[in-house]
Amino acid sequence: MPSDTNIRRCVAGDEAALALVGQATFLQTFAGVLAGDAIVAHCADAHAPARYRAWLADPACALWLVEAEPGRAPVGYMVVSPADLPLPDATPGDLEIKRIYLLDRWRGGGLGGHLVSLAKAHAADCGARRLLLGVYAHNAAAIGFYQRAGFQALGTRRFSVGGQDYDDTIMGVAIASSALTP
């Protein structure tokens, strides 16, 4: 992990920082792909502080915040929750990386891999069977990143932004329970 960053578990009160990074990274990722007014409307809902406040209050969810040092400015985050993906073999034993975002300046230095490792460790500690995620089907860089982290394509889902439907690739990796590992 780069020495100019810190990753910590989120606590109540982090919702504004999470919302800010969520909105900024969504804009960075989808500007030029999605309509600008659709991005703004999506961020107002999907990246509202209230959404993060609800996840922070839910004991089934775990959130981590990436902060730049010095100063502790928020530059990325990850949300892991019970899985909510349309897979025929989905079980309550599955967890989902709901969101994993880093501002562009902090990509490519190992932080994403470190976050995925934290998610896998958390899933193992929870006794999860699999760790799942959905990624925009045309985001080849993200799909390649997840494949290198051991995830495999398992299915697809549709999502709507601004009245337009888009495809996600659902990916997953099996988790060995920490209770079963020596």
Domain boundaries, the chain: 5-174
Write the CB contacts of 51 (distance below 8 Å, at least 6 apart in sequence): 19, 45
- Half-sphere exposure of residue 98, counting CA atoms within 13 Å on the CB side? 19
* CA 155 remoteness from chain centre: 18
3-state secondary structure string across 55-105: HHHCCCCEEEEEEECCCCEEEEEEEEEECCCCCCCCCCCEEEEEEEEECHH
Q: Is 36 helix (H, G, I), strand (E, B) or coil?
A: helix
**Per-residue confidence (pLDDT) for residue 179, from 0 to 100:** 47
Q: Look at residue 162 in the predicted model and tell me its pLDDT.
A: 83
Class of domain 5-174: alpha beta
- Share of residues in the chain with pLDDT > 90 (%): 86
Tens digit of each residue's pLDDT (9 = 90 or more) over 24-54: 999 998 899 889 999 999 999 999 999 999 9
What local confidence, expressed as pLDDT, does residue 177 receive?
63
What is the per-residue pLDDT across 137-166, written as a single tens digit (0 to 9) for each?
999 999 999 999 999 999 999 988 888 899
